[in-house]
Amino acid sequence: EAGVAQSPRYKIIEKRQSVAFWCNPISGHATLYWYQQILGQGPKLLIQFQNNGVVDDSQLPKDRFSAERLKGVDSTLKIQPAKLEDSAVYLCASSLAGYNQPQHFGDGTRLSIL
Amino acid sequence: AQKVTQAQTEISVVEKEDVTLDCVYETRDTTYYLFWYKQPPSGELVFLIRRNSFDEQNEISGRYSWNFQKSTSSFNFTITASQVVDSAVYFCALSDRAGGFKTIFGAGTRLFVKA
């Protein structure tokens, strides 16, 4: 079974620029998550999709972050414009439907803002 | 409120020592799920175990064991005879309905196992 695929692996941009991350979940997984992980902290949920609908985006800074899940499969997360405090690892995860399901994570994208 | 506390920021042990990672949680729900994940230096979080709130049986998987105690709201993780490959950050996580079906993670415990 192929795991969760994320790209790019690393990204360096200057503040006020835009950036996009891509995620392809495990086949058959209805739920897709985007997390932000700042160095030394646990993952913080940004947005959760069930198929192509948003379940929770309460912690997504909507003035600069946006996300979509195309046809209930792939997903992109965009930041525009980036701020210095956005430097973090962005993790994508997927799971079967249900809050009792374990999540499967991709390798993450390490974003550095200069 | 939904909360997960991992009070140990870093633990350092010598190979073959036993080590216990603590996890304390808070939830209003009677039905909830607890998880442990491992994040090795490569960065990918790996699922280790899930426990539901109605099952307080301890679980053992090889050198890993988990102790779930509802009376103290704790879900501790013990590694027996630690190995260098166990060096990683370990996260405890909680998922419940009161939290909007979200999973929240603790801050993690970084484990160093020295040869």
Cα separation, A18 vs A79, whole angstroms:
6
Q: Please say if the pLDDT value at position B113 is more than 80.
A: yes
pLDDT in tens, A3-26: 999 999 999 999 999 999 999 999
Residues of chain B contacting A41 with CB distance shorter than 8 Å: 107-108
Q: How far is B53 from chain A (nearest CA, A)?
A: 11
Closest CA to A98 of A41, A34, A48, A57: A48
How high is the pLDDT of residue B106?
96
Cα separation, B24 vs B74, whole angstroms:
4
Q: Please say if the pLDDT value at position B12 is more than 90.
A: yes
Candidate from B52, B95, B101 with C-beta closest to A55: B101
Distances (CA, A) of A24 to A45, A75, B93: 17, 7, 23
- Hey, is the C-beta of B108 within 8 angstroms of any chain A C-beta? yes
A43: nearest CA partner in chain B: B105
* Strand runs labelled E in chain A: 5-7, 10-13, 19-24, 31-37, 44-50, 53-56, 65-69, 75-79, 88-95, 104-105, 109-113
The continuous run of DSSP H or E covering B12 comes out as strand B10-14
pLDDT in tens, A46-61: 999 998 899 999 999 9
- pLDDT band with cut points at 50, 70 and 90 for residue A89: very high
pLDDT in tens, B50-80: 999 998 888 889 999 999 999 999 999 999 9
- Match 């079974």 to its residue by tokens: A1
Q: Which residues pair with B89 in a beta bridge?
A: B39, B110
